[in-house]
Structure 1
Amino acid sequence: MSRPAAPTWHLLTGEYPPAPGGVSDHSRSIAQALVKAGETVRVWTPGTEAVTEEQGVTVHRWPGLFTPLGLPRLTRELDAYPGPRRLLLQYVPHAFGWKAMNVPFCAWFAARRQDERELFLHEAVYPWSAGAPWRHQVLAGVTRVMLRTLAHGVGRAYVSIPAWAEHLPEPLRTRARWCPIASPLPLEVSREAVRAVREALGGTPCVAHFGTYGAAIAKPLEAVLVPLLQRDERRQALLLGRGSQGWCDAIARRHPALARRLHARDGLSPEDVAAHLSASEVLLQPYPDGVSARRSSAMGGLGLGLPIVTHTGHLTEPLWRELRPVALADDASPGALLELVEHLLENGEERRALGERASRVYREHFALEHTVAHLLRQAPPVFRDSP
């Protein structure tokens, strides 16, 4: 008796390179890892009209793909490929347009009963607050309806943080698997590349930040970084990621005495970002909701074995407190973060030990191969509070 045909993976994502973003990076990592595991993978994403072959992954792009006008074409093109088909939706509400309220797309996904459907939640819903403006109240309600619609008939669900599982209906909620977001950066960097960055920065102590410099992170970052540089004139600040140059320029205008020690590197390749991060003594990463496994910028530092200073918040998983792969403040106050950075800068042995622990915890709990193993596992997954 012949074996049934293996399903083809069809990744549906609102972001895929060259489009920037954490979901974009994660989608590419998952697609390429599945191909390396011997799977057939097609990606469907908005973009300039094209069908391309990218490292073994077939990528289908066209404008408005997930809009009501684009869904009939998506249906036709998907149905043109033989089954079985396994649809993996990389979900974050705002990535599918319509101001994060694309209910028609969610209904379309729920109606694809002829396909195996799996859901990866990068973000689940817009947060609800009784005192929020009415438009935010509407958005919070609609995103909850969207998620329940998507979950109807889904075989398996994966969540970037355990908190997202709480928004899923039963029995999917108890079956959801925690799959942390893996590092978007290479895990190994040549010594020559790191040495070149250190020489370019003058060889003095350097504190780095990796992110996109949104308002929720930029303000607390400035509150720590400015006094840190003011305390010691040898110190440098290395700012990496999209938006770093604009933020750097703004800080230099407000604090002109620090301008020569602020170094922005916007638009670097993942390899160059990894080399620059590895050239720093400490990575400073404040987050509005605390460090969590959905923060690819934190994962980038962990994967490289860097000493990271960050803090807890309402989305922080227990693992961060239990295994301490980072220097963890109990609150986001500038004073608490500042003192942790100061302590690490003054204690090289502690920095090295923390970096080694970060690398070990990343390999054991967060590395991409754990997620791929879950995706390829046939038995229904089981949700736990920690890996």
Structure 2
Amino acid sequence: MTSSGDARGGDRPVSWHLLTGEYPPQPGGVSDYTRLVAQSLARAGQGVHVWAPGDPEVREEHGVTLHRIPGLFTPPGLVRLTRALSHHRAPRRLLLQYVPHAFGLKAMNVPFCAWFAARRQDERWVFFHEIVYPWSLSAAPRHQLLAGVTRVMARLVGEVADRAFVSIPSWAEHLPPRLRHRAEWCPVPSNIPTEVPVASLVATQATLGAGPWLGHFGTYGSHVRGPLFAVLVPLLRADGQRKALLLGRGSQGFAQELGARHPELASRVQSRDTLAPEDLAAHLAAMDLLVQPYLDGVSSRRSTTMAGVALGRPLVTQTGHLTEPIWRESGAVALAEGTTPEALVALVERLMSQPEERAALGVRAARLYRERFALERTVESLLRASL
């Protein structure tokens, strides 16, 4: 394989074609990530097209040409996509944002994966944000079917990929042998601003009022609600001056539920369900400590963690089977061993009593982000010639 300037096309520059199941204004981490990467490639002088589902449209945005095709990953949509791609001169590089549930058919869209595998005239790159549904012998039959089909899909796509990226190293274990050791770990960068003007931070702090403030950023799904309740309630009860700020979609509902279950804490819990990216960054930057419980552990695919780390905020989280060694080696976050709420609470209490340690934690977080996780590192990986 050759560099991005001459791949499969002599001296003609390759054109990038990003295939994604979501793109702004559609919400979602993959949506935001795809836009960040597409616009960064365009700023680097690349010709970039994005193909996403939605009402028919073609428009240019910050140097990126966005194409929306109804039912993009359905058989009729793929016919339209095939026809549209043929109008773009070769060489073409398809960069698939791989998330099984984003392709429809209840995350079992084998026909789309077969279509991608058949695109021999194009260079095929894949970014595996997620890869397979977990398999368990005790799972319901429908879940075992889903686990099996997603493995077939990953093999179809992986067998033909000229280059592959994974959001966390453990995803590579599910790739075909030929690709397993060549897959590149490319952590997902923060999808909100990584710097906050001093004036914005001061204004946000004034609006929030005195703390100390414990923050959480997430989507408040069923997998995190229980652990978050189990951590926040004892932390707020332990110190009557503490307050909690819940950020992200679903935060208002979570705050209301916490207040209903624990009325004595309701006045010290605030939420911001939807904020502009700049305002979200300012609120995160105003936190004394971020508390991010994850039952499967912190990993570099957690955009909620990346947002705090990028801003240099001290962050407490947990180890788990998806946690990469870099988190322990770098000391960029405070890690509670295992997934018990008691361990997380104890770690938070220690850090709240040691402001110097919290400050040092934030410095290490910002340094790690700049060196390993920043968007610039992603673009460098994409533009680097394959070995």
TM-score (norm 1): 0.96
Gap change, CA 1:112 and 1:246, over 3 Å in 2: same
C-alpha displacement of 1:48: 2.4
> Any unmatched runs of 5+ in structure 2?
1-8
- 1:298-333, CA deviations, whole angstroms, 9 ceiling, x for partnerless residues? 011110000000011001011111111000011111
Verify: 1:226 aligned to 2:211, yes or no: no
Answer yes or no: is the 8 Å Cα contact 2:314–2:359 preserved in 1: yes
Answer yes or no: is the 8 Å Cα contact 2:195–2:311 preserved in 1: yes
Q: 2:370 aligns with which of 346, 359, 363?
A: 363
Q: 1:173 aligns with which of 180, 186, 189?
A: 180
> Corresponding residue for 1:120?
127
Q: 2:286 aligns with which of 273, 279, 285?
A: 279
Answer yes or no: is the 8 Å Cα contact 2:37–2:379 preserved in 1: yes
> Corresponding residue for 2:108?
101
Report the AA paired with residue 74 of structure 1.
Answer: L
Report the AA paired with residue 255 of structure 2.
Answer: C
Q: Give the count of matched residue pairs.
A: 379
Q: 1:156 aligns with which of 163, 172, 177?
A: 163
Q: 1:249 aligns with which of 256, 264, 274?
A: 256
SS in 2 for 1:370: helix
Q: In the aligned structure 2, how far is the partner of 1:79 from the partner of 1:55?
A: 24
Verify: 1:17 aligned to 2:24, yes or no: yes
Q: In the aligned structure 2, how far is the partner of 1:288 from the partner of 1:36?
A: 38
SS in 1 for 2:236: helix
Aligned-residue Cα RMSD (Å) equals: 1.1
C-alpha displacement of 1:3: 5.9
C-alpha displacement of 1:287: 1.0
Verify: 1:88 aligned to 2:95, yes or no: yes
C-alpha displacement of 1:220: 0.3
Verify: 1:37 aligned to 2:44, yes or no: yes
Answer yes or no: is the 8 Å Cα contact 2:69–2:80 preserved in 1: no
Q: In the aligned structure 2, how far is the partner of 1:196 from the partner of 1:43?
A: 37
Answer yes or no: is the 8 Å Cα contact 1:201–1:236 preserved in 2: no
Report the AA paired with residue 364 of structure 2.
Answer: R
> Corresponding residue for 1:376?
383
Q: In the aligned structure 1, how far is the partner of 2:252 from the partner of 2:20?
A: 28
SS in 2 for 1:264: strand
Q: In the aligned structure 2, how far is the partner of 1:143 from the partner of 1:3?
A: 36
Report the AA paired with residue 292 of structure 1.
Answer: S
Verify: 1:348 aligned to 2:355, yes or no: yes
C-alpha displacement of 1:152: 2.5
Q: After TM superposition, what 4+ stretches of structure 1 lie above 3 angstroms from structure 2?
A: none
> Corresponding residue for 1:385?
none
Identity among equivalent positions (%) equals 61
- 1:336-384, CA deviations, whole angstroms, 9 ceiling, x for partnerless residues? 111111122211111110000000011111111111111111123xxxx
Q: In the aligned structure 1, how far is the partner of 2:282 from the partner of 2:159?
A: 44
Q: In the aligned structure 2, how far is the partner of 1:166 from the partner of 1:332?
A: 24
